[in-house]
């Protein structure tokens, strides 16, 4: 066993694993097992879809899934079978998990429009959370999350697991931090396009799905579906009502790497944000005042070429039409990195002139590096839960990148360039655009702050 793994196991024994008296039904047996294996972490899952299940499988050796909440009963039950052998307690309303005193750590993997509310309520209930990206649908939700995180001191890891791909993205960032590319001039985040759907008919809500609760804070609309396309599971990400489309779905990953690089190079500007954002975007439906005029089909941008201007003539380009990955260009050289490769002359030069031994550890905040990718991302989160350190994908750095993605979305929807005051976190000289920093929550689904 490697030193880091041993160290990790030592540091992840959790108070949360202690058995508590009020487990009901089948959960008794799992509570007892967890108490016996006192180095395991008791987890509550909110949102038992593709990512919720996949994430918890990748952390399976360190955790016990004790409770699962999903608004789709069939999904909760099948997740219970696959993640907990049927021993977890299943709920429709996630707030029942927030009330459980035996669960201190949560995984939130609901659709994007359902991240901010449970995340804030979980922090206020004293829980640490691994929450999927993108954390928010709006810039103002991010302000609130950051405020509550500071006030509560909870440990929040965002699901941007590229930050735990040590030989790819983290190494690329370490090269930037070590000056191997020189002064950064341009970064391109190529994130791919998005599909269109054509009109989807309003159909009967599937058995077991609480559609009103799935919609939650979003406006009440019909359930729509045809074949494998719908305004619900999986394809929610192509509707502005529930997501930012590709600009936040993949932007949350690659723009995060771009902004991380700028910050390590000391070139993200005094207030950590851009000056302007503009360019072109194509949508599958017409837009009026920033909102789609047809409401029965996918509506997020299918293609885009957006330019983000940072202070000091640094350009960040977000586009759909080139090889998925991040290109970082400096006055000493250029590298390309994605989930499969890290290339470029400065990478080849490492053979003769390697990075200092601690270069990768340093940009990884000297947190333990256990494995690689998603498992490593979970390992560092669980380590931080124990030590109360700030994880690698903290809410503050995430929102600095996600603000750029949201501004890109607002610019694309309005079809014009925006000016951004990074200090005040306001769009300047455009009240219509500035109003899009927030969204209204549907009655009955407001965030419970107390
Ligand atoms: N980090 C990554 O690389 C990555 C990859 C894929 C997805 N994701 C993110 O994970 C999240 C989920 O994506 P997915 O593809 O698994 O979606 P999905 O639609 O398959 O699953 C979401 C689940 O959440 C449930 N849900 C909705 N509202 C709920 C509520 N109020 N309480 C409890 N459950 C609720 C749904 O019923 C569904 O089962 C998204 O935010 C997405 O961006 C991240």
Q: Please tell me if the CB atom of residue 69 comes closer than 6 angstroms to any atom of ligand 1.
A: yes
Residue nearest to atom 28 of ligand 1 (CA): 214
Q: What is the pLDDT of residue 450?
A: 83
State which of 51, 93, 131 you would mutate to test the pocket of ligand 1, scoring each by most atoms of that ligand within 8 A of its C-beta: 51
How far, in Å, from the CA of 170 to the mean position of ligand 1? 26
Ligand 1 closest atom vs CA 52 = 16
350-362: b (≥16 Cβ within 10 Å) or e: eeeeeeeeebbbb
| 151: Cβ contacts below 8 Å, ≥ 6 apart | none
What is the distance in angstroms between the CA of the first residue and the CA of the last residue of the chain?
Answer: 45
Q: With a cut of 50, which residues of the chain have pLDDT below it? A: 1-36
Output the CA 242–ligand 1 centroid distance in Å.
11
Structure tokens, 287: 């837009």
Q: Tokens for 318, please give them.
A: 């977000």
Cβ(325) – ligand 1 distance below 6 Å: no
Which pLDDT score is estimated for 39? 82
User: Which ligand 1 atom is nearest residue 214's CA?
Assistant: 28
Residue nearest to atom 7 of ligand 1 (CA): 51
Any atom of ligand 1 within 6 Å of the Cβ of 94: yes
3-state per-residue secondary structure call for the chain = CCHHHHHHHHHCCCHHHCCCCCCCCCHHHHHHHHHHCCCCEEEEEECCCHHHHHHHHHCHHHEEEEEEECCEHHHHHHHHHHHHCCCCEEECCCHHHHCCCCCCEEEECCCHHHCHHHHHHHHHCCCEEEECCCCCCCHHHHHHHHHHHHHHCCCEEECCHHHHCHHHHHHHHHHHHCCCCCCEEEEEEECCCCCCCCCCCECCCCCCECHHHHHCCCCCCCCEEECCEECCCCHHHHCCCCCCCHHHHCHHHHHHHHHHHHHHCCCCCCCCCCCEEEEEEECCCCEECCEECCCCCCCCCCEEEEEEEECCCEEEEEECCCCCEEEEEECCEEEEECCCCEECHHHHHHHCCCCCCCHHHHHCCCCCCCCCCHHHHHHHHHHHHHHCCCCCCCHHHHHHHHHHHHHHHHHHHHCCCEEEECCCCEEECCHHHHHCCCCCCCCCCCCCCC
Which pair of structure tokens corresponds to residue 438?
């927030």
Which pTM value belongs to this model?
0.92
What span, in angstroms and rounded, lies between the C-alpha atoms of 391 and 301?
Answer: 32
Instruction: State residue 170's pLDDT score.
Output: 98
Question: Is 141 touching ligand 1 by the criterion CB < 6 Å?
Answer: no
Q: Is 50 in the pocket of ligand 1 (CB under 6 A)?
A: yes
Residue nearest to atom 6 of ligand 1 (CA): 51
Ligand 1 atom, smallest distance to 115 CA? 41
- Give every CB contact of residue 184 below 8 A, 6+ residues apart in sequence: 176, 261, 262, 265, 267, 314, 328, 329, 330
Q: Ligand 1 mean position to 52 CA, how many Å?
A: 7
How confident is the model at residue 70, as a pLDDT?
Answer: 98
Domains of the chain: 3-161 (3.40.50.720), 163-354+395-435 (3.30.360.10)
d(CA 379, CA 352): 33
Q: Separation of 51 CA from ligand 1 center, angstroms?
A: 6
Can you give the length of the chain in residues? 450
CA–centroid distance, residue 247 to ligand 1 (Å): 17
For residue 110, the ligand 1 atom closest to its alpha carbon is: 24
Ligand 1 midpoint to CA 271 (Å): 32
- With CA atoms as reference, report the closest residue to 320 among 222, 194, 427: 194
Q: If you take atom 33 of ligand 1, which residue's CA is the nearest one?
A: 70
Backbone angles phi, psi at 133, to 5 degrees: -80, 165
With the C-alpha atoms ordered 262, 263, 266, 272, is the resulting torsion angle positive or negative? positive
Phi, psi of 7 (to 5 degrees): -60, -40
Alpha-carbon distance 84 to 82, whole Å?
6
Q: Is the CB of 163 under 6 A from ligand 1?
A: no
Instruction: Kindly report the number of other CB atoms within 10 A of residue 423's CB atom.
Output: 11
* Residues 105-134: tens digit of each pLDDT: 999 999 999 999 999 999 999 999 999 999
Angle, CA of 217, 49 and 281, to the nearest 5° = 65
Q: What is the mean pLDDT of the chain?
A: 92
Q: Report pLDDT digits (tens) over 264-288.
A: 999 999 999 999 999 999 999 999 9
């Amino acid at each position: 066993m490697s030193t880091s793994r041993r160290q990790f196991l030592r540091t992840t024994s959790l108070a949360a694993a202690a058995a508590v008296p009020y487990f009901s039904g089948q959960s008794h047996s799992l509570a007892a097992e967890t108490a016996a294996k006192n180095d395991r972490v008791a987890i509550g899952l909110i949102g038992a879809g593709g990512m919720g299940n996949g994430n918890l499988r990748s952390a399976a050796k360190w955790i016990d899934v004790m409770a699962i909440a999903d608004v789709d009963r069939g999904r909760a039950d099948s997740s219970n079978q696959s993640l907990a052998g049927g021993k977890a307690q299943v709920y429709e309303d996630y707030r029942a998990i927030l009330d459980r005193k035996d669960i201190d750590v949560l995984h939130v993997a609901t659709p994007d429009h359902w991240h901010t509310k449970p995340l804030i309520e979980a922090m206020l209930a004293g829980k640490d959370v691994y929450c999927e990206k993108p954390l928010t649908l709006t810039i103002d939700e991010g302000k609130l999350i950051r405020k509550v995180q500071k006030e509560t001191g909870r440990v929040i890891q965002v699901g941007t697991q590229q930050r735990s791909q040590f030989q790819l993205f983290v190494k690329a960032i370490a090269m930037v931090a070590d000056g191997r590319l020189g002064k950064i001039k341009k970064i391109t985040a190529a994130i791919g396009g998005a599909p269109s759907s054509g009109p989807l008919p309003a159909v009967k809500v599937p058995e077991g799905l609480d559609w009103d609760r799935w919609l939650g804070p979003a406006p009440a609309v019909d359930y729509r579906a045809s074949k494998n396309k719908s305004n619900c599971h999986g394809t929610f990400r192509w509707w502005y009502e529930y997501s930012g489309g590709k600009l936040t779905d993949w932007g949350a990953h690659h723009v995060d790497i771009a902004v991380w690089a700028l910050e390590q190079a000391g070139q993200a500007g005094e207030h950590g944000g851009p000056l302007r954002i503009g360019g072109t975007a194509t949508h599958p439906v017409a837009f009026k005042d920033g909102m789609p005029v047809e409401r029965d089909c996918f509506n997020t941008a299918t293609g885009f070429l957006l330019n983000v201007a940072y202070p000091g003539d640094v350009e960040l380009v977000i586009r759909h039409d080139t090889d998925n990955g991040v290109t970082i260009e400096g006055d000493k050289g250029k590298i390309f990195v994605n989930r499969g490769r890290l290339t470029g002359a400065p990478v080849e030069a490492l053979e003769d002139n390697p990075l200092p031994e601690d270069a990768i550890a340093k940009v990884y905040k000297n947190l333990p590096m256990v494995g690689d990718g998603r498992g490593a991302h979970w390992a560092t989160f669980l380590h931080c839960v124990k030590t109360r350190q700030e994880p690698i994908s903290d809410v503050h750095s995430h929102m600095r990148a996600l603000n750029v993605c949201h501004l890109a979305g607002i610019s694309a929807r309005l079809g014009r360039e925006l000016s951004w005051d990074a200090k005040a976190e306001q769009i300047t000289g455009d009240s219509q655009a500035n109003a899009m920093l927030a969204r209204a929550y549907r009655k009955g689904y407001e965030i419970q702050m107390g």
